[in-house]
Structure formats: C-alpha cells, structure tokens
A = this chain, B = another copy of it.
C-alpha cells in the first residue's frame, strides 16, 4: 500500500495538534517551529518539514498562527470525517476506551460496546450501551460500523475476530496481545502497547 502520509508524520502532526490546542486555550496566538521542536525534543528542521507538507507558511519572526495551523492539521488528518466504531469486549480496557471523551474531537465515534457477559449487557457507559455479541451483525448494518476495537481476553481474540469478519467488520484495532489471522481484505491495526513500551525501555537502557 502506498501511504498518503507516513505513520511518523501522522504521529507528530497529532502531537503538534495537542500543543496547538494548549496554546489556543492559553490565548497564545502564534507559535514558532522552535517552540514546537523544544516541547517534543525533536529537531526544528523536522517540524518545519512536517508543516511544509501541509503547504502552510508561517509569518517571518512570529511563526505560525496557532488556530490556522490547528485547522489545517484537522483537515489533513480528516478529523471531521466520522469514523464509526464498536468496542468488542467490555472489560477494563474496553470500558476505559468507551469513557474516553477525547475521541470524538478526532471524528472517532464509538456507537456501542459488545460483550458475552450477561452482567454487562444493558449497562450504559458514556451514553453507549453494552449489547450481546450476538446482536453485532444487526447493529453493524444499522450503524454502518466497519471498525471494531478489540479488547476481549487474549484466548477469545481469534474466535471473536472470525465472528466480526462474518458480521461485515473490515477494520480491527487490535488491543489484545495476539496476532490475528485474517484474510487480506480485512485490515488489522495492532495497538502493540508492549511493543511501544519496549521501544522505550530497550533504547533507553531502562
């Protein structure tokens, strides 16, 4: 697949967006690339290169207008496009993600949760209901949900994945510590928390 924007650039643009949000909250109108670079401990050239990708030019000496740059990042990363998703597995992590209010600002809309535990079915979290997993195929059509966030226990991950795919799910954001076996028309994004943590410890000698 040819990537439109590299993963690293997307990652950094999201962080710039966080910084811009802070600046705007503090009523600071302009931000310069060295200010961004210093906060992220990255090179100033890198920041300028990333922002040049957005075809945005700062003003000499004062830098970028925070509000304008923020909107440009939102357009480039398509924050306004609604991306409907289900959380599958209403355990601790699934519940935490359901309660995470920040997602909607990025166009990420969690419509419902699913679980097999009768004690959880019917619960409401942050206006999202927990349904029985058996209802997922019907609700996937109803909500036009193509994305599932997988937070079931590791041992059920593959079995639930097979069911999700049969139900029309095309994209799986996988939080389980397992590699899912799926056909090539289904995209899996491994949220490899452990891998991310080890990147940190291995290279810093922690």
Number of interface residues of A (CB under 8 A): 61
Known: A5-B202, A192-B14. A197 touches B92 (CB 8 A): no
B11, B12, B184: the one contacting A196 at CB < 8 Å is B11
A sample of 12 more A-B contacts (CB under 8 A), given A1-B203, A7-B203, is: A11-B195, A14-B192, A14-B194, A18-B179, A77-B202, A78-B201, A78-B202, A91-B96, A102-B194, A106-B197, A146-B206, A187-B204
List chain B residues, Cβ under 8 A from A184.
Answer: 41
Known: A15-B192, A95-B96, A192-B11. A173 touches B197 (CB 8 A): yes
The residue on B at minimum CB distance from A102 is: B177
A177 contacts B77, C-beta separation under 8 Å: no
Q: What are 27 inter-chain pairs, A to B, with CB distance below 8 A?
A: A1-B203, A3-B203, A5-B203, A7-B199, A10-B195, A10-B202, A11-B196, A11-B199, A12-B195, A15-B192, A18-B177, A18-B179, A22-B179, A39-B179, A39-B181, A77-B198, A92-B100, A102-B154, A102-B194, A103-B194, A106-B197, A171-B200, A171-B206, A173-B197, A173-B200, A187-B200, A191-B193
